[in-house]
Amino acid sequence: MDSLTQIVLGASVGELVAGKKLGNKAVFWGAVAGTIPDLDVMFNPLVSETARLSIHRGFSHSFAFAFLFAPLFGYLLWKIYKKSEANFWDWTSLFFWGIITHFMLDSFTNYGTQIFNPFSDFRVSWNTIFVIDPFYTLPFLGLVVALMFFKKGSTRRLRLNYFALGISSFYLMFTVVNKQYINSVFESAAKSNNIEYSRYMSAPTPFNNFLWRGLFEAEDGYYETYYSWFDDTANLEFTYIPTNRHKLAGLEDTEPVKKLKWFSNGYYSITSDEENLYFNDIRFGTIGGWNNSNANYVFSFKLIRGENLSIARSFDGMKLNSKLIHDFLYRIIGQKVNSYGEITEERHDSSKRD
């Protein structure tokens, strides 16, 4: 999840673990604990693009990291705050649960989290929530900020924190249940369209849990579709995405390509222009894909040939404009917009509303 969300979660966990003894110090250091795993990005300037794929959400997002480093951080803070009521185990618990809850929350997103590193590079990815979801974060943030104005150990402060953790956890569980419903819609639509597939994945689109994307893997390509809660029909449209894996001829066994295959969990497509070859991780789609856009993929890597093959992240697929945002918001509520800004399809029949 994004940094703000992890800060809020860590702050709330810190309050839960040590708030009665430390007050707002528990909130502050809980927020720090919730931030620590993402400090792995500090290594980015020091390593290759290939190495970054396995470092981020790697060891720092694992049980091993929590067990090894929580006591070290706990000892350090215990020494700094010798006069506080909190003992070594209080501080250690604060950091342990701050780190654990960080990577467990990350596991609900699409990116993948190596919670068993260094013993396994398997990436847990439940794909139920987007990395930035204001429906999860903003109520949580408001409640955590509010509790800081009450005295440590007070009943109101305690109840506010329980409510903050409860409502955020309830929303997270909602995303899990919602995914099961969305999957049933996708599976039914694939069957109706006679799509034969070996596996599929579903994930919410940015900033919401109402508009979802489905991706079905066939023999030589993928079938992509979108569905919103507010669509009146489940008669979904599918877009075919060829894999073009033949373009990787001679490069399949190179370390960068093997790492990209691992990172994408096998969901990839190869594209090219006059000069370059691109490895596209299609789990994240394209900006504007909900309107059958032919834009570049959000996660795309240029394959650079040389004495040794290397890769470079391409950010061409990250370009946003006001029309894309406008069209996206309309698509969430079940409508499509053409290039002139006109609604071309009302996927929601207003006559059926109460």
- The string of DSSP letters for 6-37 reads HHHHHHHHHHHHHHHHHTHHHHHHHHHHHHGG
Tens of pLDDT, residues 116-146:
999 999 999 999 999 999 999 999 999 999 9
Tens of pLDDT, residues 280-296:
999 999 988 887 777 88
Quick one: which H or E segment has residue 96?
Answer: helix 88-106
> Residue ranges per domain, the chain?
3-175, 192-318, 322-352
Helix-, strand-, coil-residue percentages of the chain, each rounded to 5: 50, 20, 35
C-alpha closest to that of 259 among 301, 220, 219, 203: 301
The reported pLDDT for the residue numbered 346 is 53
Question: Taking 60 as the threshold, does the pLDDT of residue 349 lie above it?
Answer: no
Max mean pLDDT among 96-105, 227-236, 337-346 falls in: 96-105
Question: At 345, is the pLDDT very low, low, confident or very high (cuts 50, 70, 90)?
Answer: low
User: Partners of 228 in the beta sheet?
Assistant: 211
pLDDT higher for 173 or 319? Answer: 173
Helix (H, G, I), strand (E, B) or coil at 297: strand
Question: Taking 80 as the threshold, does the pLDDT of residue 338 lie above it?
Answer: no
pLDDT higher for 161 or 290? Answer: 161
Question: Taking 90 as the threshold, does the pLDDT of residue 351 lie above it?
Answer: no
